Structure 1
Amino acid sequence: MGRILDAVVPARLGPRFRWMLASSWMSNLGDGIAVAAGPLLVASLTDDPRLIAMAAVAQWTPPFLFGLLAGALADRLDRRLMVLTGDIGRAVVLVGLVALIATDRVDIGVLLAALFVIATLETFADGAHTTVLPMIVPRSDLGVANARFQFGFMGINRLAGPPIGAALFTAGVVWPFVAQLVCMAFGALLFARILLPPVERSREGTHVLQDIVEGFRWSMRHPAMRALNLQIVTFNVTYGAAFAVLVYYAQERLGLGPGGYGALLTATAVGGVIGAASYGWLERHVAIRNIMRWGLLLETLTHLTLAWTSSAVVAGGILLLFGIHESYWGATASSVRQRAVPDELQGRVASVYVIFMMGGVVAGSALGGLIAKQWGVTAPYWFGFVGSGLILACLWGELGRIAHADEEIRRSAEADR
C-alpha cells in the first residue's frame, strides 16, 4: 500500500502536498458532480434559452470582474485563510441552496444569484490556491506536482464526477448538491491541515490598484510570461471557436446522438488521465521545449483532423490524443510560470494568465458560432487549424527560449536541494 501511495504521491513532495492534493481531488469530485447536475437543475426550472444561457454567464463573469483583484489580494493577505474563507463561504451558500431545493422553493432567479455568488467566492479562493503549490513543493518537482492536480481535474472532475451527478439527480434533485456540499466541506477540512511558510511582502503604503498594475507589467515584461500569455489567449481563441460547436459538429458531421457526444468528451477525459499519469516519465525523458512545441503541433493537427474526418472513431481517437496534450500542457505551463515568478508576485501573475486564458475561450466561443453559421460546421475547425498553425510558427523560437530559461531555473533548484 505504501508503494502505491508513494507512486501516486511521491514522499519527496512532502505531507503538506498530500493534504493539498487530497483537498483538491475532493473539491474536484464535488465540482464534477455539479457539472452535470447544475445544467439539469436549470433546465428543470426554465425552458427559456436566454435564462439557460445566463447560468453560464453567471459562472463565467466573476473571474473577469474579480480575477485581478483576487490575485492582488492573494499577494497581500494570508493565502491559507483566503482559500478557507472562500471555501467556507461557498459551503454556506450551498447550504442555503440545498434547503431551498429540498423545500421546493428554489426558482431560476435565486439559482442564478447563487451561481454568481459561488463563482465569485471561488474566484477569490482560486486566486490564493494557485500560489500555494510553489510555497510547499521544491521548484524542481513542480512538474510532477502539477500533473497530479491535472489528474484530479481530468480524471475526477471531467470523467468521474458528471456521471455521478447525473445519477444522483435522477435519484432526487437535491442529492447531487448535498454531495457537492459534503465534498466541499471535506476539501476545506483537508486544506486546513496545511501550514504555509511566511511570504515576504513589501505592499505597505501601496494601493491595491498599484499592485494589479505592477503584476500586469511584470507579466508582460518577463519574456517567458509574455510568451505564455500570448500563447494562451491566441490558442484559446482557436480552441474556443472549435470546441464551442463540438456538440453541433458531433450531430451534423459525425451523425452522433447524445451518447456519442458523451463518448467524445469521455475520450478527451481519458486522454487527460493518461497524460497526467505519464507526465513524470515524460518530464524525465523529453525536453520542455519539445513538450511545448510538439504538443501545440498536435493541437493544430487536432483541428485539421476534425475538419477533415467524418468518422466518429477517428474523431474520438484524435480527441483522446488531444486530452493527453491538454494534461501535458497544463502541467508544463503551470510549472514554468510557478518556477519563474517570485513568491510575492505569484497571485497577480497567475491572475493575469487566467484573464488571458478565459478571454481567449470566450472570444473564440462567440466567433466559432458565427463562423459555423456562415460557412458550415467544419469551418471553425479549418479556422482553428490555420490560426493555430500561424501562431505556432510565430511562437516556435520563443518556446525554445522559454524552455531554456526554465531549464536553468530547474538546474539551480536541484543544485540547492
Structure 2
Amino acid sequence: MTTDGLGTRYWRLWTSAGLSNLADGAMKVALPLVAIRYTDSPALIAGLTFAFTLPWLFFALTAGALADRRDRRRLMLVANGARALFLACLTVATVAGAGSIWLLYAAALCIGVAETIYDTSSQSILPQLVPRDRLSRANGRLYAAELTANEFVGPPLGGFLVAVGVGVAFGTPVLLWVAAIGVLLLVRGRFVAGRTEPTTIRADIAEGLRFLAGNTLLRTLAIMVGIFNFAASAAFTVFVLYAAGPSSTMNLSDPAYGLLLTCSAIGSVLGTFLAEPAERLLGRSRALVLTIAGSLLTVATPGFTANPFVIGAGMLLGGITISVWNVITVSLRQRVTPTRLLGRLNSAYRLLAWGTMPLGAAAGGLLGQAFGVQSVFWIMGGLIVLQLIPMLWVTDRRMDAAEAAVEAEEATAAADPRSR
C-alpha cells in the first residue's frame, strides 16, 4: 500500500489508463487529418465521429453485461489489444497504398466497439482495487490523467505525428496501447463480479436496467446527467456560430476560438483535484448544488455577453464543477451498486448520458434557426436551473443510507457459503 492509501495496483492501473488515453487522443485527431486526403466532403469527415460514438448506442449495454460476466482486467487487456490490432492493420494498409475513407470508417467503428468494453470495465474495476472511502480520491486522480492525456497532450501529438507521416501517426498509438497492456499485466489479481448463477446476456442486461430503474437515487442522477448533456450539446452545437468568424457576434479568429475552448478543459483538470476537498468540506449534496451553478455559467453566459474573457471565466468555472460532479457521482455510483451489477449499471448510465447528446444537438440547431443563436443559451440555461429541483431529494442522508444498505448486503453475501 502506498502512502496515499490507493495502493501500487491502483497506480499501475492509473499509468496504463494514461497511456491508453494518450493513444486515444492522438488517434482521434490523426484519423480525420488522414481522412481529408481521401475526401473533402464535410459529411464524410464528420461521419468518422459518428462511427466512433455509434457503439455507445448499440453495444454499451452488452459491454456492461460482459464486464459483470468476465474478469474486468482481462476485458481491458483484450479491448486494448483489439484496438492496437485494428489500428496496426490500418497502418499497414495505408502505408501499402490501400487506404480509403471506408477503411477509416471500419477502423473507427471497430475501435469504438473495443472502447465501450475498455471504458465500462475500467470504471467497474476501481472499487475492487481501492477501499470505498478512497474512491473519490482514486476517481479524481484517474480523471486527471485521462483528461490530460486525451485532451491536452494527445490531440497536438496526433497533429504533429500526421505531419511526420501517416505510418508514424497510426503506429505511435499502436505502441502506446501495447505499452498500456504491458503495465496493466502488472496489476495482479482476479477481478470478477462474484456471480453465482448462469444467465443469458439478455437477462443480464434486463437486470441492470431494472436495477437503475428501481433505484430512485441513481435514476434521479442519471436523468439529471442526461438533461445536462442535452443542454450542453444544444448550446455548444451553435456556439461556434456565435463565437468564430468575421460574421459572428464575438468575431474570434480560429486560434482564439480554440484557445477559448481550452478554458473548459483546464477547468476540468483542476476540478479533479478539488472534488475530494469539496466533498469533505461542503458535503456531497451542497457540492453537487454548486456544480449545477457552475454548469449554468458554462451554458448561459454567452446569452448575456460577448466578452471572451467573461465567457472564458464561465467555461473555466464550469469545467471545474463538471469534474467535481463526475468524481462525486461516479464514486457514489460505485459505492451504492453491488459489485456484480456495476458493469451493467455503468453502461446504462453512459447510454443515457451520451444518448441525449445528438438530441440536444438537433434541438440546438432548430431553436437557433427559429429564434436566434442567443436564445439557445437562455433556454438551455433555464433547463439547467430546473435541475435544482431534484437536488431537494438528493441529500447526504439518502446517499449515506444507500451506501450503508449495499455494504450490509455485500457483507451478508460474503458470509453466506452458498454465494462462494
Q: Given the superposition, is the C-alpha separation of residues 279 and 200 from structure 1 closer, same or farther in structure 2, using an over 3 Å criterion?
A: closer
Cα root mean square deviation, aligned: 2.0
Contact 2:275 2:328 in 1 (8 A): no
* TM-score (norm: length of structure 1): 0.92
- For the residue of structure 2 that corresponds to 1:317, the secondary structure is helix
Match of 1:3 in 2: none
The runs of at least 4 aligned residues of structure 1 exceeding 6 Å deviation read 409-413
Q: Given the superposition, is the C-alpha separation of residues 212 and 34 from structure 1 closer, same or farther in structure 2, using an over 3 Å criterion?
A: same
Match of 2:351 among 344, 351, 355: 355
Match of 1:325 among 321, 327, 338: 321
1:396, distance to aligned residue in structure 2 (A): 2.1
Match of 2:390 among 392, 395, 398: 395
Distance (whole Å) between structure 2 residues aligned to residue 234 and residue 286 of structure 1: 24
Match of 2:380 in 1: 384
Contact 1:75 1:348 in 2 (8 A): yes
Match of 1:280 in 2: 276
1:270, distance to aligned residue in structure 2 (A): 1.0
Give the aligned residue type for 1:285: L
Match of 2:335 in 1: 339
Matches within 5 A, 1:98-177: 98-177=91-170
1:375, distance to aligned residue in structure 2 (A): 2.1
Match of 2:290 in 1: 294
Q: Given the superposition, is the C-alpha separation of residues 198 and 305 from structure 1 closer, same or farther in structure 2, using an over 3 Å criterion?
A: closer
Distance (whole Å) between structure 2 residues aligned to residue 200 and residue 173 of structure 1: 41
Q: Given the superposition, is the C-alpha separation of residues 205 and 29 from structure 1 closer, same or farther in structure 2, using an over 3 Å criterion?
A: closer
- For the residue of structure 2 that corresponds to 1:13, the secondary structure is coil
Give the aligned residue type for 1:126: D
Q: Given the superposition, is the C-alpha separation of residues 11 and 309 from structure 1 closer, same or farther in structure 2, using an over 3 Å criterion?
A: same
Match of 2:58 among 35, 56, 65: 65
Contact 1:289 1:404 in 2 (8 A): no
1:280, distance to aligned residue in structure 2 (A): 3.1
Give the aligned residue type for 1:373: Q
Distance (whole Å) between structure 2 residues aligned to residue 42 and residue 199 of structure 1: 40
Write the deviation string for residues 68-89 of structure 1: whole angstroms up to 9, x where unpaired.
0110111111222111111101
1:411, distance to aligned residue in structure 2 (A): 8.1
Give the aligned residue type for 2:62: L
**Structure 1: tracts of 5 or more residues without a match:** 1-5
1:200, distance to aligned residue in structure 2 (A): 5.3
Distance (whole Å) between structure 1 residues aligned to residue 116 and residue 194 of structure 2: 22
Q: Does the alignment pair 1:30 with 2:23? A: yes
Write the deviation string for residues 30-80 of structure 1: whole angstroms up to 9, x where unpaired.
112123222212223211122112211111111111100110111111222
Contact 1:27 1:183 in 2 (8 A): yes
1:196, distance to aligned residue in structure 2 (A): 3.3
Distance (whole Å) between structure 2 residues aligned to residue 247 and residue 394 of structure 1: 31
Matches within 5 A, 1:228-307: 228-251=221-244, 252-307=248-303
Write the deviation string for residues 214-269 of structure 1: whole angstroms up to 9, x where unpaired.
11011111122111111111111111101222322221231112101210221111
1:279, distance to aligned residue in structure 2 (A): 2.7
1:290, distance to aligned residue in structure 2 (A): 1.1
Match of 2:199 in 1: 206
Distance (whole Å) between structure 2 residues aligned to residue 36 and residue 137 of structure 1: 33
Match of 1:406 in 2: 399
Distance (whole Å) between structure 2 residues aligned to residue 34 and residue 404 of structure 1: 44
Distance (whole Å) between structure 1 residues aligned to residue 90 and residue 260 of structure 2: 32
Q: Given the superposition, is the C-alpha separation of residues 198 and 22 from structure 1 closer, same or farther in structure 2, using an over 3 Å criterion?
A: closer
Q: Given the superposition, is the C-alpha separation of residues 324 and 373 from structure 1 closer, same or farther in structure 2, using an over 3 Å criterion?
A: same
Q: Does the alignment pair 1:87 with 2:80? A: yes
Distance (whole Å) between structure 2 residues aligned to residue 151 and residue 388 of structure 1: 25
Distance (whole Å) between structure 1 residues aligned to residue 398 and residue 346 of structure 2: 18
- Stretch moving more, 127-136 or 165-174: 165-174
- Stretch moving more, 231-240 or 362-371: 362-371
Contact 1:135 1:197 in 2 (8 A): no
Distance (whole Å) between structure 1 residues aligned to residue 360 and residue 328 of structure 2: 23
* TM-score (norm: length of structure 2): 0.91
Q: State the identity as a percent.
A: 31
Contact 1:135 1:196 in 2 (8 A): no
